[in-house]
Amino acid sequence: MADPRVLRAMSTPLLGQFDPEFTAIMGEVVELSRFAFQTANARAFPVPGTGRAGLEAAIVSLVEPGDRVVVAECGRFGLLTIEIAERCGAEVVPVRGEWGRIIEPDAIASALEGGRTKILAVVHGETSTGVLQPLEEIARLAHAHGALLVADCVVTLGGCAVAVDRWAVDVATAGTQKCLSCPSGLAPVTFNARAERVIRERRSKVRSNYLDLGQLADYWSPARFNHHTAPTSMVYGLREALRAVREEGLEARFARHRLHGDALRAGIDALGLSLFGKEPPERRLPFITPVVVPEGVDDLRVRRRLIEDFAIEIGAAFGPLQGKIWRIGTMGYSAQRQNILLCLTALESVLRGEGFRAAAGAGVDAALAHYAAAGAAGPLAVDDNLGAGGIGRL
């Protein structure tokens, strides 16, 4: 769900890209991006395009043909990272893991042996499986072997900690449409001086002009290099989304995502459904709940009925998990108590229609009990400052 205040900001009249007022807005976006990424990096700005544009900009700007790139892959978006690196002419070394599990640091360390690796690329939050990859230890491994760490934080920025400086992440890329609750269309990125040195000292030109992080950095700097025309309305929206993050506070925002995700999972368990994956809670995304489709239940029919009868969309799965799990997102503005309760009510109703036996009201009762135990059952619950909002696409 897009935050209504973001949509209102996007309706603001347009300014020219070199208008001093717009330049001031760009400066504010840079500062707010640093706040969200928890960094003091000089470079923190959005790449025009979806989250994939940010990831591709990072890889195409850093990698030259023949460079050795190690990619940790345990889901759909790890596979995507491999493909992007291969298209850049890299010598790609995949470190593959079971979908639903993290990539163990020992396996990554083995792939880094030899000292020739230029880039280690990791998906921080694997959206396809709900896994949260610990980055701090992986950053230490990368640097011990002379490699840069590139982290895909598309789903995690604004929903759980993305501590770029504390974890020593060299490059982090994100997207607007997940926990930031802004429409898709910009990809916030940040990179440190070490990564910028690699970009500036390349032996060959970056193969993409549009996604050249060196030129994009100059565009977002006081130099205002004329690289492209900024998508003005999207910049307005991102500024407002980042303002909302700052106003709520990072820790409060992370706590809100954990609260509502945990309430949903309590309800899922009470309905007799199983979560996909074998990792403990600290290695799972707090705002994506992967649910195993029960035997004898039609995945597509359940999702269609949820949309048609309740206006709720839950995510399908990718690749080998297609038809086997549902992915329920509780991200950004959609992470509200009324959405959790309505989702559980709707899911129970639809599953009963599929012949799945679930105790009446058990899911909602369990979620409410979780809120009560967390001290979030009264009128001052964590989500009350968000205002009214109907159910969205979960």
Helix (H) or strand (E) holding 57: helix 51-62
**Residue whose C-alpha is closest to residue 302's, from 241, 231, 230, 358:** 358
Q: What is the structure's pLDDT at 359?
A: 86
209-235 pLDDT, tens digit per residue, is: 999 999 999 999 999 899 999 999 999
% of residues, the chain, pLDDT over 70: 95
Arithmetic mean of pLDDT, 160-180: 98
Q: How far apart are CA 58 and CA 370, in angstroms?
A: 41
Contact 221, 15 (CB under 8 A): no
* Cross-strand bridge partners of residue 315: 327
DSSP line for 309-320: HH--B-B---GG
pLDDT of residue 114: 82
Tokens 């989702």 belong to 343
Contact in structure between 260 and 341 (CB atoms under 8 Å): no
In which band, very low, low, confident or very high, does the pLDDT at 377 lie, cut at 50, 70 and 90? Answer: low
Mean pLDDT on 61-78: 97
Question: Which is it for strands 68-73 and 91-96: parallel, antiparallel or unpaired?
Answer: parallel
pLDDT higher than threshold 50 for residue 65:
yes
Handedness of CA 197, 203, 204, 205 (dihedral sign): positive
Is the pLDDT reported for residue 185 higher than 90?
A: yes
Average pLDDT over residues 124-153: 97
Cα separation, 299 vs 323, whole angstroms:
6
Mean predicted lDDT score pLDDT of the chain: 94
Q: Supply φ then ψ for residue 252, to 5 degrees.
A: -65, -40
Give the pLDDT band of residue 278 (cuts 50, 70, 90): confident
Nearest partner of 249 among 389, 390, 382, judged by Cα: 382
Ranking 33-47, 227-241, 378-392 by mean pLDDT, the lowest is: 378-392
Give the pLDDT of residue 390.
37
d(CA 28, CA 99): 39
Q: What separation in angstroms does the CA of 351 have from each of 247, 284, 356, 377, 391?
A: 39, 25, 5, 27, 19
Cβ atoms of residues 244 and 6 within 8 Å: yes
Query: Can you tell me the mean pLDDT for 307-324?
Result: 95
Q: How many residues are recorded in the chain?
A: 394
Q: What angle in degrees, to the nearest 10, is found between the helix axes of 250-270 and 362-373? A: 150
Closest among 290, 282, 268 to 351, alpha carbons compared? 268
Domains of the chain: 4-247 (3.40.640.10), 250-386 (3.90.1150.10)
